[in-house]
């Protein structure tokens, strides 16, 4: 089944609102002919400025995180409704850095996912193994657990608004990249999990994208794999020309 490629930029903790607007001005003309779905996920402080700069384009706005409660005494958190009000259509959930530095678990990923979907957001749910887990032969077991728990109690008719991002933790920010064959094998295993959870038809429509040191130099080889439906791009998405080269691979 043909699936439209999804290319998402995760800017992490980079760029002021002014820098975000400058990026948009430089980036928009570089990808005017793309047929892929493009999402930019800046820090929260940039959402209003970047949303205004993207108005009238097909480029979508996303956030890097959210909290599962609709409102309340949760200092420093952002709700799904707030993201919708800021013109977001996507949100990243469970990124490896959130798991590593801020205590995210498969259970919290699940709660955030259900809150996002209930609010009408599309979600990019991140899964992936650490180097020690891969070397111990636990990759498939880790991915199965993350999928089963992270997508627990999500109705099958919501699957179309979920993309899974496979990000081998050992390849994030390290300059190391899983070979296209390694990435494709992991994606195939993840799709098998989606089939178990949502059924074959819904799973066949879901996009499974790769995240882990994606650069202009390796994007074409990764995207050529049938099971790789796009990319979640970190450092290489901070420069408009670099990110455009990935989009236009």
CB 145 within 8 A of CB 104: no
Active site residue 167: yes
- Burial pattern 139-176, b for ≥16 Cβ within 10 A else e, equals beebbbebbeebbeebeeebbebbbbbbbbbbbbeeee
pLDDT at 152 (0 to 100): 98
| Catalytic residue flag (residue 36) | no
> Taking the CB of residue 103, how many other CB atoms lie within 10 A of it?
8
**Does 177 have pLDDT greater than 90?**
no
> Tell me, which fold does domain 6-247 have in CATH?
TIM Barrel (3.20.20)
Mean pLDDT along residues 99-103: 95
pLDDT of residue 135: 87
Q: Cα–Cα distance between 67 and 246 in angstroms, integer?
A: 31
Q: What is the pLDDT of residue 126?
A: 98
Q: Of 77, 66, 89, 230, give the one whose Cα is nearest residue 164.
A: 230
Instruction: Specify the pLDDT at position 249.
Output: 84
Q: What mean pLDDT, rounded, does the chain reach?
A: 96
Query: Hey, where are the domains in the chain?
Result: 6-247
Confidence class for position 1, pLDDT limits 50, 70, 90: low
Tell me how crowded residue 89 is: count the other CB atoms within 10 A of its CB: 15
C-alpha to C-alpha distance for 243 and 195, rounded to whole angstroms? 32
Average pLDDT over residues 95-120: 97
d(CA 247, CA 195): 28
- Name the band, by pLDDT with cuts 50, 70 and 90, for residue 157: very high
Q: What would the mean pLDDT of 125-152 be, rounded to a whole number? A: 95
Contact 163, 125 (CB under 8 A): yes
Question: What pLDDT was estimated at residue 53?
Answer: 98
Please give the residue that has the higher pLDDT: either 38 or 170.
38
Higher pLDDT, 176 or 162: 162
What is the rounded distance in angstroms from the CA atom of residue 129 to the CA atom of residue 100? 12
Does position 176 have pLDDT exceeding 80, yes or no?
Answer: no
Retrieve residue 242's tokens: 């670099």
Catalytic-labelled residue, pool 97, 129, 167, 227: 167
| Residues composing the chain | 249
Quote the DSSP letter at residue 107: H
For residue 232, which of 186, 168, 161 has the smallest C-alpha distance?
Answer: 168
| pLDDT mean over 160-189 | 89
Q: pLDDT for 187-241, tens place per residue?
A: 999 999 999 999 999 999 999 999 988 999 999 999 999 999 999 999 999 999 9
Q: Provide the pLDDT for residue 171.
A: 78
Give the Cα-Cα-Cα angle 197, 172, 232 (nearest 5 degrees). 55
Q: Which residues is 40 bridged to in the sheet? A: 9, 61
Instruction: List, for residues 24-76, the tens digit of each pLDDT value.
Output: 999 999 999 999 999 999 999 999 999 999 999 999 999 999 999 999 999 99
Q: The tokens of 98 are what?
A: 């959130």
Rounded CA-CA distance 79/143 in Å is 27
The mean pLDDT of 153-164, rounded to a whole number, is 97
Q: What is the pLDDT of residues 108-132, one digit of tens each?
A: 999 999 999 999 999 999 999 998 8
Catalytic residue among 95, 158, 187, 249: 95
């Amino acid at each position: 089944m043909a699936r439209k490629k999804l290319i998402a930029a995760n800017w992490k903790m980079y760029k002021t609102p002014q820098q975000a607007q400058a990026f948009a001005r430089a980036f928009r003309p570089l990808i005017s002919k793309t047929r892929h779905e493009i999402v930019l996920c800046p820090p929260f402080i940039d959402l209003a400025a970047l949303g205004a700069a993207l108005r009238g384009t097909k480029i979508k706005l996303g956030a890097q995180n959210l909290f599962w409660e609709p409102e309340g005494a949760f200092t420093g958190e952002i709700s799904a409704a707030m993201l919708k009000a800021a013109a977001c259509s996507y949100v990243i959930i469970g990124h490896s850095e959130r798991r590593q530095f801020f205590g995210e678990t498969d259970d919290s990923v699940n709660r955030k996912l259900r809150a996002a979907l209930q609010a009408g957001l599309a979600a990019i749910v991140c899964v992936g193994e650490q180097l020690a887990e891969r070397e111990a032969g636990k990759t498939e077991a880790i991915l199965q657990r993350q999928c089963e728990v992270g997508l627990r109690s999500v109705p099958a008719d919501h699957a179309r608004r979920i993309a899974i991002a496979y990000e081998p933790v050992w390849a994030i920010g390290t300059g190391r990249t899983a070979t296209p064959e390694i990435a494709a094998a992991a994606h195939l295993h993840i799709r098998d999990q989606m089939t178990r959870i949502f059924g074959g038809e819904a799973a066949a429509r879901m996009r499974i994208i790769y995240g882990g040191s994606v650069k202009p130099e390796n994007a074409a080889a990764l995207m050529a794999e049938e099971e790789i439906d796009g990319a979640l791009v970190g450092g290489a998405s901070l420069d408009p020309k670099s990110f455009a080269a990935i989009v236009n691979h």
